[in-house]
Amino acid sequence: MSDFEPKIVVYACNWCTYAATDLAGTSRMSYPENVRIIRVMCSGRVDPQFVLQAFADGADGVIVAGCHPPADCHYIEGNYKAFRRFELFKKVLETFGIEKERFRLEWISAAEASRWVQVVNEMVAELKKLGPLKKNLEVKE
């Protein structure tokens, strides 16, 4: 499994997390290549359907990231809805036997480029230990 490179899909909100990922770039921070970032205007836009599609297509991990509650959301409360939806989503993932390390809901503000890098590094390390999700979704002997 030393060759296994997990693929992580990230839904990043425009005003906070996406800006942080940009800042990581401007600051020439270094992190693994495993993430693919999809820009949304608000973490409140992220539908659990997208996350399930990502897992079904082969994502080993998914991150949904937005602005810190209670007051940072550019659209006031989009992150509240994201939080509530993904609390339930996590319960459902558990019933499906999917390891909780594979999904993260993170709050990363526009200034927190190092937090972004930390999250990526952590998740890549955890997923390398867990292995590809596709393997877990097959029916085993």
Partner 1 sequence: MTKKHVSRTEGESKGEKMTEKPKVAWYWCASCGGCEESFVDLAERLLKVFEAVDIVFCPVAMDFKREDVEKLPDGSITVALINGGIRLKEHEEMVKLLRRKSKIVIAYGACSAWGGIPGLANLYDLDEVLERKYMEVPTVENPKEVMPTKKTIVNIPEAGIKAEIELTEPLPVLLPLDKVIEVDYYIPGCPPTPDVFWNALQALLSGNLPPKGSVLGASQRSVCDECPLNDTKPEKVLVKEFKRPDKAAPKPNECLLAQGFLCMGPVTRGGCKSLCPQANMPCTGCFGMLDGIVDYGGKAISTFGSILNYSPLEEKEIKEAYGKVPDWVGVIYRYSLAASKLGHKAGLKKPKRIKEVTEL
Partner 2 sequence: MSEQISEPRIGVYVCHCGFNIAGTVDVKKVAEYAKTLPNVVVARDYVFMCSEPGQDLIKKDIKEQNLNRVVVASCSPSLHEVTFRTAVMEAGLNKYLMEMANIREHCSWVHHDKEKATEKAKEIVRMAVAKARYLEPLEELEVEAEQSALVLGGGVAGLRAALELANYGFQVYLVEKSPTIGGKAALIGYVDPKTKGAEIVNKMFEMIKECPRIKIFTNSELIQFSGFAGNYTAKIRVNPRYVNEKCTRCGECEEVCPIEVSNEYNFGLNRRKAIFLPFSNAYPPYYAVDHRVCVKCGECERVCRFGAINLKEEPKIVELKVGALIIATGYDPYRPFKGEYGYGLHENIITLFQLERMLDPESPTKGELIIGGKIPKSIAFIQCVGSRNTTPGSREYCSRMCCTTAINNAIKIKERYPDTNVYIIYKDIMTYGSDESLYEEAGRKLVQFVKFEDKIPKVSITPEGLFIEVFEYTIQENIRIPVDAIVLSIGMLPPRDLEELIAVTRVSCGTEGFVREAHLKLAPVEAPTKGLFLAGCITGPKNILESIRMGSAAAAKAMSLLSKGKLKIEPMIAQVNEEKCSGCAICVGVCPYGAISIKKVNGDRIAYVEKALCMGCGTCNAACPSGAMQHLGFKDIQLLAQTRAVFGEVR
In the complex, which residues of this chain contact partner 2 (CB under 8 A)? 7, 9, 15, 18-19, 21-22, 24-26, 28-31, 33, 36-42, 44-47, 49-50, 53-54, 57-59, 70-72, 74-78, 81, 85
- Residue 83 in the binding site for partner 1 (CB under 8 A): yes
Give the footprint of partner 1 on residues 42-71 (CB under 8 A).
Answer: 47-49, 51-53, 55-56, 69-70
What single-letter amino acid sits at 117?
V
Strand pairing class (35-40; 61-66): unpaired
Which tokens is 140 given? 């085993």
Helix (H, G, I), strand (E, B) or coil at 138: coil
Closest contact distance (angstroms) between CB of 50 and partner 2 is 5
Residue 12 is given by DSSP the state E
Q: Which residues make beta-bridge pairs with 13?
A: 40
Q: Which residues make beta-bridge pairs with 39?
A: 12
The answer to whether 79 and 66 are in contact (CB under 8 A) is yes
- Residue 91 in the binding site for partner 1 (CB under 8 A): yes
Given the complex with partner 1, which of 5 and 94 has the nearer CB atom?
94
Closest contact distance (angstroms) between CB of 141 and partner 2 is 26
Interhelix angle 113-130/17-26, nearest 10 degrees: 100
Closest contact distance (angstroms) between CB of 86 and partner 1 is 7
Helix (H, G, I), strand (E, B) or coil at 69: coil
- Residues of the shown chain interacting with partner 1 in the complex, contacts defined by CB under 8 A: 47-49, 51-53, 55-56, 69-70, 77, 79-81, 83-89, 91-92, 95-98, 133, 136-137, 139-141
